[in-house]
């Protein structure tokens, strides 16, 4: 083959580091963003948190009716402002900044709205990030994360109780070893023989037997501690320990003895609530078996549940929706949508360091420090861009689902990601990132943004009904059913058809399982 030279023109999309960071920040949750900000503050000396006692004008926090003017800014140049909590500047200011930003290298096809831009002077970067927290609150006031971190664990709770026991040194160590081997639910999953072999090995049989004996004594001590049922090897033993504890407190309660007898049967019978087989196995009448099942159902299957690390379950809303006094042209109430100030970090470029760097141009290491300064600027810009996009998407959702905010889940409309993407001129993947792990506080509760999206089911009138509204109807039907004659999936499908919604029985079963509603036969037993 003959070698040769050729010239070819092609187009391709390059993901710059700044754009990659913007995409990554967009998909982070509130807690993850807080950790990312802390990490960036530690790594980049040009980045700092704005102080709460500084003047509002220094950070671009003017009121909505005040002109957004900074010192040193010309009259025809509108600096960035987040006065209306929307994080959007005027169109004229955006155009002027986009044309004058010296370090901006954002691709022209970037999906962001471009409402945040780099200013000419480093001193103007004091207000490029939104406020974080209520500025009127005490800085030492504990946050939700602080309260969650102070939550006592099951292991610490058991160790404190063990201190009150008069034990020999070896028994105290054995009890401590078992406590450390409990899982989050309070169960001891590993057999005592395996725990002993892990310490003594399998060669010294005498020492192995001694350890098994010590662990057996320590297990009885562990199972006598609070919460009742801790240290059980399986669910059956956990239920039995709780029933024995109740029986010691009230020996006259005959039903506790019956419940112990029922609990001794295979757990499969209890899980299915197979009253007939339990009657045959225990030799008891139906009334007593059902009463015993009711006693067992009130027990705690996971003794360590209340000691679970609650920090993983903290939900901090990113957006707050409030009802306003005025009404729209459709007669429905209007709602204001604003970002939660408690989750918005107050970031700015360190003016002292930035000015010192500007006055020492050409010195050793200047290029590296200039790059770090640019990274701080881009991080502030991308954080603001993240909140801007979240707010735009949230406003579009509230406009589309206004009936939900007025009437609740039954009034939810079908909505897909493409609808919001087309309205805002963004890509569906961007909407997906925005709505993942982001939450909205509404008059009806706090919901993930993805909650407002749902497929549609056909109706007799030719329209569509939201799957969320259908699930709410199913929940309503089940709540109003007769306990002695619960509704089957086929009956629920027929009732939905009477409402004009075409929903197959299998679809009803899928929605019922998603709502964690038991089948008709188990609801009847309950």
**Mean pLDDT, residues 326-343 taken together:** 81
- What pLDDT was estimated at residue 465? 81
Exposed e or buried b for every residue in 97-127, given b needs 16+ CB within 10 A? beeebeebebeeeebbbbbbbbbeebbbbbb
Band of residue 354 on the pLDDT scale cut at 50, 70, 90? confident
The encoded tokens of residue 22 equal 């913007």
| pTM for the predicted model, two decimal places | 0.60
- Nearest 10 degrees: CA dihedral of 91, 95, 96, 99? 170
Question: Does residue 66 surpass a pLDDT of 60?
Answer: no
The pLDDT tens digits of the residues spanning 202-251 come to 677 888 888 899 999 999 999 999 999 999 999 999 999 999 999 898 88
**Reported confidence tier of residue 1, pLDDT bands at 50, 70, 90:** low
What is the 3-state composition of the chain as percent helix, strand, coil, each rounded to the nearest 5?
50, 10, 40
Task: Give dist(CA 517, CA 489) in Å, integer.
Answer: 11
State yes or no: pLDDT of 467 exceeds 50: yes
Question: Where residue 68 falls among pLDDT bands split at 50, 70, 90?
Answer: very low
Note the pLDDT of residue 518: 87
Q: What is the pLDDT of residue 230?
A: 93
**Would you state the structure tokens that stand for residue 468, as one six-digit string?**
């969320």
pLDDT reported for residue 110: 41
| Residue 351, pLDDT score | 81
pLDDT band for position 311 (50/70/90)? low
d(CA 133, CA 28): 19
Report whether 158 contacts 179 (CB < 8 A): yes
DSSP 93-151: HHHHHHHH-SS----TT--S-------SSGGGGGGSS---S-TTS-TTS--HHHHHHTP
Joined tokens for residue 157: 């709770």
**pLDDT attached to residue 523:** 81
pLDDT at 244: 93
Decide: 230 and 222 in contact? Cβ < 8 Å: yes
Tell me the pLDDT tens digit for each residue of 428-461. Answer: 999 999 999 899 999 998 999 999 998 777 776 6
Neighbours of 17 (CB within 10 A): 10
Work out the mean pLDDT of the chain and round it to a whole number. Answer: 78
Rounded Cα gap, residues 97 and 120, in angstroms: 9
User: How many helices (H) and strands (E) in the chain?
Assistant: 22, 8
pLDDT tens digits, one per residue of 131-169: 444 444 445 555 555 544 556 788 999 999 999 888 888
- Mean pLDDT computed over 14-24: 84
H-helix or E-strand spanning residue 354: helix 351-358
Q: Give me the half-sphere count of Cα atoms (radius 13 Å) on the Cβ side of residue 475.
A: 13
- For the cut 70, the answer to whether the pLDDT of residue 56 exceeds it is no
Average pLDDT over residues 362-376: 81
| pLDDT level of residue 122 (50, 70, 90 thresholds) | very low
Of the candidate ranges 43-52, 121-130, 305-314, 383-392, the one whose mean pLDDT is the lowest = 121-130
* Residue 310 scores a pLDDT above 70: no
d(CA 278, CA 269): 7
According to the model, what pLDDT value does residue 273 have?
A: 80
Q: Is residue 127 over pLDDT 70?
A: no
For the chain, give the longest Cα–Cα distance.
102
pLDDT given at position 500: 86
**What are the tens digits of pLDDT across the range 211-221?**
899 999 999 99
Q: What is the CA radius of gyration of the chain?
A: 32
For the residues 393-408, what does the mean pLDDT come to? 91
Question: Residue 274: pLDDT band by 50, 70, 90 thresholds?
Answer: confident
Tell me which residue of 389, 366, 370 sits closest to 378, measured CA to CA. 370
Could you give the CA distance from residue 125 to residue 381 in angstroms, rounded to a whole number?
10
Closest by CA position to 502, among listed 450, 449, 462: 462
Please return the burial class of 410, using the count of CB atoms within 10 Å of its CB with bins 0-12, 13-18 and 19+. middle
Q: Concatenated DSSP letters for 392-414? A: HHHHHHHHHTHHHHHH-GGGPPP
- State both tokens at 278: 């339990």
- Between CA 418 and CA 428 the distance in angstroms is 6
Distance between CA atoms of 345 and 203, rounded to whole angstroms? 60
Burial of 326 (0-12, 13-18, 19+ CB in 10 A): exposed
Q: Is the pLDDT of residue 344 over 50?
A: yes
Asked whether the predicted pLDDT for residue 117 surpasses 60, the reply is no
3 state DSSP class of 48? strand
Task: Taking residues 386-392, report their average pLDDT.
Answer: 95
Residue 420 binned pLDDT confidence (cut-offs 50, 70, 90): very high
Position 186 scores a pLDDT of 92
State the Cα–Cα distance between residues 31 and 311, nearest whole angstrom.
10
Query: Does the structure show a pLDDT above 60 at 57?
Result: no
Token duo for residue 340: 């939660």
Choose between 110 and 30: higher pLDDT: 30
| pLDDT over threshold 70, residue 128 | no
pLDDT value of position 499 = 86
475 to 245, 510, 512: CA distances (angstroms)? 37, 13, 8
* Alpha-carbon gap, residue 49 to 42, rounded angstroms: 11
Q: Does position 37 have pLDDT exceeding 50, yes or no? A: yes
């Amino acid at each position: 083959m003959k070698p040769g030279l050729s010239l070819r023109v092609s187009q391709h999309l390059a993901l710059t580091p700044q754009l990659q960071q913007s995409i990554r920040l967009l998909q982070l949750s509130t807690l993850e963003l807080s950790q990312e900000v802390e990490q960036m503050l530690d790594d980049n000396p040009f980045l700092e948190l704005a102080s709460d006692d500084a003047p509002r004008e220094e950070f671009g926090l003017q009121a909505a009716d005040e002109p957004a003017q900074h010192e040193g800014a010309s009259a025809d140049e509108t600096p960035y402002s987040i006065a209306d909590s929307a994080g959007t500047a005027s169109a004229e200011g955006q155009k002027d900044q986009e044309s004058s930003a010296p370090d901006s290298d954002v691709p022209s096809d970037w999906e962001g709205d471009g409402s945040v831009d780099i200013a000419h002077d480093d001193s103007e970067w004091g207000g490029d990030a939104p406020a974080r927290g209520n500025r009127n609150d005490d800085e030492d006031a504990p946050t939700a994360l602080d309260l969650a971190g102070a939550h006592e664990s099951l292991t610490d709770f058991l160790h404190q109780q063990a201190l009150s026991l008069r034990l020999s040194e070896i028994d105290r160590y054995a009890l401590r070893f078992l406590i450390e081997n409990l899982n989050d639910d309070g169960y001891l999953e590993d057999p005592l023989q395996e725990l002993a072999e892990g310490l003594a090995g399998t060669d010294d049989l005498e020492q192995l037997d001694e350890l098994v004996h010590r662990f057996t004594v320590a297990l009885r001590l562990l199972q006598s501690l609070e919460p009742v049922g801790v240290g059980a090897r399986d669910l059956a033993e956990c239920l039995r320990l709780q029933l024995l504890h109740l029986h010691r407190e009230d020996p006259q309660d005959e039903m506790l003895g019956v419940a112990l007898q029922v609990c001794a049967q295979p757990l499969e019978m209890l899980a299915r609530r197979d009253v007939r087989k339990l009657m045959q196995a225990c030799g008891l009448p139906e009334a007593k078996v059902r009463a015993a099942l009711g006693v067992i159902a009130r027990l705690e299957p996971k003794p360590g549940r209340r000691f679970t690390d609650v920090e993983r379950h903290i939900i901090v809303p990113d957006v707050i929706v409030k009802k306003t006094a005025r009404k729209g042209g459709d007669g429905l109430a209007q709602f204001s949508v604003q970002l939660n100030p408690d989750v918005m970090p107050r970031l700015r470029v360190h003016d002292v360091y930035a000015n010192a760097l500007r006055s020492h141009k050409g010195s050793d290491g200047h290029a590296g420090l200039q790059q770090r300064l640019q990274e701080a600027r881009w991080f502030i810009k991308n954080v603001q861009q993240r909140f801007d996009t979240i707010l735009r998407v949230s406003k579009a959702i509230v406009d589309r689902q206004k009936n939900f905010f007025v009437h609740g889940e039954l009034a939810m409309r079908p909505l897909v990601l493409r609808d919001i993407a087309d309205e805002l001129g963004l890509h569906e993947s961007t909407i997906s990132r925005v709505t993942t792990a982001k939450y909205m506080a509404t008059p009806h509760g706090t919901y993930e943004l993805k909650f407002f999206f749902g497929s549609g089911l056909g109706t007799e009138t030719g329209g569509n009904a939201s799957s969320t509204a259908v699930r709410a109807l199913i929940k309503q039907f089940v709540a109003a059913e007769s306990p002695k004659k619960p509704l089957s999936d086929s009956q629920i499908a027929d009732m939905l058809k009477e409402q004009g919604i075409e929903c197959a029985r299998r679809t009803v079963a899928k929605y019922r399982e998603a709502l964690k509603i038991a089948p008709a036969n188990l609801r009847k037993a309950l």
